[in-house]
Amino acid sequence: MVVNEKGLLKAMKEAYKLDGYTVAVDEADLILRTVMWTVVLHMEDAPSKVLALITEHIRKLPAPGTAYQVKRKETQTQMFRMVKEEILDFHTDEKQRRIIRRTELTLGGFPLWQAATEKTVVKVYPEYEDILCLDNTVIRLVGDNVLFADDMTSRAYILCTPAKDAKHLEQLTHLSKIQWVAE
């Protein structure tokens, strides 16, 4: 599994307190989503603690074909079809995927990642990076700002900080001139 259970639980709890998260279930998959990350798990492989947290937040597990927006103060149903389409459209172009690796560098408290075949450097929110299992997982950069990992049981998409982040743009441009990771 490419998803770190503890990191996902922490991200779900944080999202629940803030803007909420979406939970949806289709025939085989559990879909969890915020504006910053998306995780798709096969239901049969979903960690029991993740299922328990969802049950704690909405008092039940969603039935197949249903979706909910889950927040601390309220839970609202959502159109399942729209949630599913957003997932299907979410950076699925294989040609845009490049292997990316975490460097030893940080910038402003953000871990820096670099594409293995080019020098592009991106900042990743540390709390969302924790959703990924970094041991022996091939992680790809999709487009300019999405980390993607998948295997037979799960998929994860993590949004990096905006590329046009004026605060660190000059430093990122400079760091992108050097190859920090092995090809």
User: Which tens digits make up the pLDDT trace of 26-56?
Assistant: 889 999 999 899 999 999 999 999 999 999 9
Tell whether 61 and 112 lie within a shared domain: no
End-of-domain residue from the set 46, 70, 89: 89
Domain enclosing residue 59, as ranges:
5-89
Residues with Cβ within 8 Å of 82's Cβ and at least 6 positions away in sequence, in order, are none
User: Which tens digits make up the pLDDT trace of 87-126?
Assistant: 655 555 666 778 889 999 998 888 999 987 887 888 899 9
Domain assignment present for residue 29? The answer is yes
Q: By CB neighbour count within 10 A (0-12 exposed, 13-18 middle, 19+ buried), where does 20 fall?
A: buried
Domain assignment present for residue 64? The answer is yes
Q: What is the pTM of this model?
A: 0.86
Least confident span in 45-54, 55-64, 121-130, 139-148: 139-148
pLDDT at site 22: 93
Say how many domains are in the chain: 2
Query: Per DSSP, which regions of 34-183 are E strands?
Result: 37-42, 66-70, 75-78, 97-107, 110-115, 121-123, 140-142, 146-150, 154-159
